[in-house]
Amino acid sequence: MNIAKLMTDGLSFALPLFVMAIGGIYSERSGVTMLSIEGFQGFGAFTGAITVVILRTYLGVSPDWLIYVATLAAIFGGMLFGLLNAFMVMKLRAKMTIAGVVINILAVALTSFLSSVITGVVTGQATTKIQLGVSPRYTIPYLSEIPVIGGLFQNMYPFAFIILVVGVIAWYVLYKTRYGLRLRAAGDNPHSLDAAGVDVEKIRYSAVILAGGFAGLGGMAFTYTVANFSPSSYVGYGYLAIAALIFGNWNIVTTFWTSMFFGFSRSFSDQLVNELGLSSNYSDLFSIMPYVLTLIVLIFFSKYNKPPRALGEHFDKGKR
């Protein structure tokens, strides 16, 4: 078995999953149930992919720096859908779970329609599958030569560095700043937060919008690993991120290791299929391993979870 490839592929799947799960943690820690990660991820990736198509057509070339522009666009696209989700939940008082389902369905339908329309106008060939090209890769000297774990530092995508930095900043903000304290209070005891003069609704708005940005980043990262965008290419990853944060007990550090577990289990299943020389039918079967592990993990560990006490509850000042 190719250990280096196992490490590289595992990391390229785990890190986008991790940053999307961070978005879920921010939202749910503020008290807003987050089922919309799938939709945020998809619309964010679509925004980044369309940005690449437009700039590539305008420039006539596809420079490496386009991936960074696409990433920023994806974050913005995810935040835009996050704002829509927050408006539905906070302003329209929609049920949080229903709002999440609506956002996910809307994202698939909207990206399918807009992909076809925009590519038709820009390139003259309407399609829902957008080719992005191969992302640059980087290998870290010396670290990549370490036995066994050296594969973690070989052929790394640019987003790996971005996500690790974002993860550290997100951890610091959530646990070491006044904003993070207020966000966590909004999910545990919003009435006490309101009594202290803090606008609970604004905190929750910001948390959901940030969740959209994190998911958009993860969506763009997933898109670049397969070198193209398609409305059907991200189905299921958002829900896997939700499972990761639940298994991680709404804690960023624990969720990081949970994401690693899911990422490397998927990479191992792919490597196992190749090693055994099985057909593509078996490859599809083995690809469900992360989801099976998710079910097993949640069955045995869910009773130890401690979600935010006000999770899923609309804030009402009159109930103080």
Domains of the chain (ranges; CATH) run: 3-136+146-307 (1.10.3470)
In angstroms, the CA 50 to CA 9 distance is 26
Residue 204 has a pLDDT of 97
Higher pLDDT, 228 or 202: 202
Average per-residue pLDDT for the chain = 88
**Segment holding 134, helix H or strand E:** none
Residue 299 has a pLDDT of 76
* 8 A C-beta contact, residue 45 and residue 222: yes
CA distances (Å), 267 to each of 100, 249, 289, 290, in order? 29, 24, 10, 9
* 8 A C-beta contact, residue 218 and residue 62: no
The pLDDT tens digits for 105-141 are 999 999 999 998 988 888 888 888 888 877 888 888 8
With CA atoms as reference, report the closest residue to 262 among 45, 21, 5: 21
Higher pLDDT, 300 or 66: 66
* Bridge partner residues of 131 (DSSP): 228
* HSE toward the beta carbon, residue 155, CA cutoff 13 A: 12
Mean pLDDT, residues 53-66 = 84
CB atoms within 10 A of CB 276: 9
In angstroms, the CA 162 to CA 186 distance is 28
User: What are the residues whose beta carbons fall under 8 Å from the beta carbon of 55, sequence distance 6 or more?
Assistant: 66, 69
With CA atoms as reference, report the closest residue to 153 among 165, 141, 162, 163: 141
Beta strands in 32-152 (DSSP E): 130-131
Residue 1 has a pLDDT of 58
* Confidence label for 211 from pLDDT (cuts 50, 70 and 90): very high
Mean pLDDT, residues 97-105 = 94
